[in-house]
Every structure is written in C-alpha cells, then in structure tokens.
Chain A
Amino acid sequence: EADIYQTPRYLVIGTGKKITLECSQTMGHDKMYWYQQDPGMELHLIHYSYGVNSTEKGDLSSESTVSRIRTEHFPLTLESARPSHTSQYLCASSLREQFFGPGTRLTVL
C-alpha cells in the first residue's frame, strides 16, 4: 500500500495569508507531483520534481511554489492566498506507478 501523507486535510483561511501544504512519502520515490482539482473537474498538474533540488512547473499555471530539499518531502506554498486558490490539492509520487495522497481541501475566504 502506498504511504503518502498530506497535511492538513482541510484548511479554511482568510485572504492574504501565507500557507504551506505538506506532502511526505515513505516509499523512497524520486518523482513527486502536485495536482489541483476542482469538484467534478479534471486533474491539472501544477508542479513536479524528479529528485532533490529539482522542481518544474506543470501544465497549469499556478501562483504556488514548491521545494524539494529532501527526497521524502515536497511542500507547496502560497505566499498570499486568494479565493481563486480554493480547490483540492493532491500530492503524488511515483517510481513507475503513480500513487496519490489523500489530498488537502483548501478554502480561502
């Protein structure tokens, strides 16, 4: 079973706040990903990483940033949250098959 964790699971926050969504995996996967998904809509890749100190922007433009200082950890940061950032954020990691974490549902008021 895939061991990939995301915290918090739910976050309600006011406009202008800085937030960091945490993602950790214990499988030793080099590749990690962040997706954004609105209810009933498609998955959109916003960031990915092929290893430590490697990060790339995904197919959907995002104001968020990511870092990869440790293999197991891939946090996503929003410097100033806005209502348009309200969405579900899904972290994933892969060797050959990609496994998803439980997601963080973010609501910005």
Chain B
Amino acid sequence: QKEVEQNSGPLSVPEGAIASLNCTYSDRVSQSFFWYRQYSGKSPELIMSIYSNGDKEDGRFTAQLNKASQYVSLLIRDSQPSDSATYLCAVNSGNTGKLIFGQGTTLQVKP
C-alpha cells in the first residue's frame, strides 16, 4: 500500500461544477497536509495547506481534513478550464520536513 494514495483520474467535470479530489494517507503521525497544482511541463505550485481537522477555505478552493479517517480532500468550486491540471496531495513524513507525494489526480474541466 502506498503511503499517499490518490485516484489518478482523469476526473472530468463541466465548467462551473464542483471538482472533488481525494487523498488518503497511511502515517497516523502526519501533521501537515498540502495540495499542489501542476500544469503539464511546469513545477508544482502550492495552493492549499491544512494542519487541523475540518475545512479551510481560500477563494474557490476548500481543503478538508479528517485525521481519524486519514483522509484529505480538495474541493474546487466554479471550476474553470484553467483549473485543468494535475493535483498532487502531499503529507509530511513525521518531523523530517520531507513530503510524501501522491501520484496526482488529473483534472479536466470541459467548457
């Protein structure tokens, strides 16, 4: 079992819809959780970080964390074609500062 698991997709949603991206992790001591967006050929860009259970909202993005279920998700409201990218879930590895990345979910937003 991978330490951080994501559905590779592609996840296809129509423009204006809500896109829901999910991630599960195996290390119960993880304390920091991140979502990165990566366009094809570009480097990952940090879009959300979350450290405590519950929801965190930033513009059209909402990160949700449930440590008991070892589950973190990202909701993108009013999806735009420019949101089409690969979304990487990352979880810290203990206190090392290292991040464990999932394989990424490809999101396609169709006009």
Contact = CB atoms under 8 A, between A and B. Distances in A.
Contact of B44 (A45, A48, A96, A100): A100
A97 B43 contact: no
**7 closest Cβ contacts across the A-B interface?**
A100-B43, A103-B43, A31-B97, A43-B101, A42-B103, A100-B44, A90-B43
Contacts of A2: 46
A101 B45 CA distance: 9
Given A43-B88, A58-B98, A99-B46, 7 more contacts: A2-B46, A42-B104, A98-B34, A100-B43, A100-B44, A100-B46, A103-B43
Contacts of A99: 46
A23 B84 CA distance: 28
Contacts of B42: 102-103
Interface in A76-109: 90, 94, 96-103
A50 B97 contact: yes
Contacts of A96: 32, 49
Interface string A17-61: 000000000000001010000010011010010100000001000
Interface residues of B, number: 17
A48 B32 contact: no
Nearest to A48: B98
Given A42-B103, A42-B104, A100 B45 contact: yes
B99 interface: yes
Contacts of B34: 97-98
A100 B88 CA distance: 13
